[in-house]
């Protein structure tokens, strides 16, 4: 189960990094700096906080897989919950402003919903692993 969670986490990360790259390429940072020609609803602290916590959680999860310390699994789950809260905030901001011509309005729907689907699967698999189910 731990390896399945890792694989889901990695797919989620690839999809998330794809969106991050699209946001950057479409002027996301310029928009965040206040360039009126590039409005955005996603602010850097939200994006970078989500990214940093997700990477930190992934590192903790990999260490858990190597060491099998249950506390690490619960720590990774706690980080994932924070990541999910920030991700949901970004999703709602995107959803409410996706027709405004923002850098994030150009994200392909399949990537957005795929990212969310794999993220939920990751949280469930990490929780089940932390609870000792399926080991």
Reported as a single tens digit per residue, the pLDDT across 21-64 is 998 888 887 766 766 566 777 888 999 999 999 999 999 999 99
Contact, 90 vs 103, CB < 8 A? no
Domain boundaries, the chain: 2-130
Angstrom distance (rounded) from CA 133 to CA 80: 18
The pLDDT of residue 102 is above 90: no
Query: pTM of the entire structure?
Result: 0.90
């Amino acid at each position: 189960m731990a390896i399945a969670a890792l694989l889901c986490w990695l797919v989620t990360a690839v999809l998330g990094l794809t969106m991050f790259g699209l946001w950057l390429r479409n002027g996301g940072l310029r928009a965040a700096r206040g360039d009126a020609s590039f409005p955005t609803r996603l602010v850097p602290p939200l994006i970078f906080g989500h990214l940093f916590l997700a990477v930190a959680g992934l590192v903790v999860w990999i260490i858990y897989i190597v060491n099998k310390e249950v506390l690490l699994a619960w720590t990774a789950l706690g980080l994932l919950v924070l990541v999910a809260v920030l991700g949901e905030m970004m999703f709602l901001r995107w959803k409410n402003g996706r027709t405004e011509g923002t850098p994030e309005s150009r994200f392909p729907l399949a990537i957005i919903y795929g990212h969310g689907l794999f993220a939920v699967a990751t949280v469930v698999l990490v929780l089940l692993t932390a609870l000792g189910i399926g080991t």
